Amino acid sequence: MLRGFSMLVSLFSALIWLSSCQFFVDGRDESLLVVSAADWAELHQFKEEQRQAKLEANKPQALPGSETISFSNVSDAYLAGCRTLGIVEVHHYGSYDEALILMRNQAHQLAASVIVPLDIYQDQTVRVDDAGRLNFVKGRMLRCPQKPA
Domain boundaries, the chain: 57-143
Q: How far apart are CA 79 and CA 117, in angstroms?
A: 17
Cα–Cα distances in angstroms (integers) from residue 121 to residues 11, 88, 107, in the given order: 67, 14, 19
Three-state secondary structure call for residue 22 = coil
What pTM, to 2 d.p., does this model score?
0.63
At residue 74, the pLDDT reads 85
pLDDT in tens, the chain (149 residues): 667 778 888 887 877 766 666 666 777 778 777 888 999 999 999 999 998 888 888 888 989 988 889 899 888 888 888 899 999 999 988 888 889 999 999 999 999 999 999 999 988 877 766 667 888 999 999 998 887 65
- Kindly state the DSSP code that residue 55 receives in the 8-state scheme: H
Tell the burial category of 138 from Cβ atoms under 10 Å away from its Cβ (0-12, 13-18, 19+): middle
Residue among 42, 64, 66, 51 at smallest CA distance from 114: 66
User: Which fold would CATH assign to domain 57-143?
Assistant: Translation Initiation Factor IF3 (3.30.110)
Asked if 30 contacts 68 with a C-beta cutoff of 8 angstroms, the reply is no
- Residue 118's pLDDT is 92
Name residue 141's amino acid: M
Alpha carbon distance 113, 122 (integer Å):
25
- State residue 148's pLDDT score: 64
